[in-house]
Amino acid sequence: MTEPSVPLVRTILSCRCPRCGRGNLFNGVLSVHPRCPACDLDLRQTDTGDAGAVPIIILLGAIVGGMALWTEFRFEPSWWMHALLWPTVTVPAAIWLMRLSKSAMIAMQYRHRSTEMGL
């Protein structure tokens, strides 16, 4: 097994390749490059599935739901204010958390199941 030289937390937070730490992991909002653009690590073998989405749905739903209730009872804004505010908060937060989650799963798979990633 190749020992990764990049710290795990930095790899996850920067959404970079788990092996070299230079290549960007994503080639879109949430789609992963098939190979690392910097070191050519084969990323097609990674499988993040739905494991990253479920905790984010639960956590973000609880936080945003709680904030919406608190805002409603505290400030009593009109309905259109809720319709404008919560998607503006929720969509970018969900995308950011999904990117971190996918990055974490790929980094952990690289660290612990690297033989299945063709290494």
The residues that touch Zn ion, with contacts defined as CB under 5 A, are 17, 19-20, 23, 36, 38-39, 41
SS3 16: strand
Q: How far is the CB of 36 from Zn ion (least distance, A)?
A: 3
* Euclidean distance between CA atoms 33 and 17, whole angstroms: 10
Q: How far is the CB of 29 from Zn ion (least distance, A)?
A: 20
Determine the residue with CB nearest Zn ion: 17
Q: How far is the CB of 13 from Zn ion (least distance, A)?
A: 16
* Choice between 38 and 94, CB closer to Zn ion: 38
Name the DSSP class of 92: H
∠ CA 111-114-119, rounded to 5°: 135
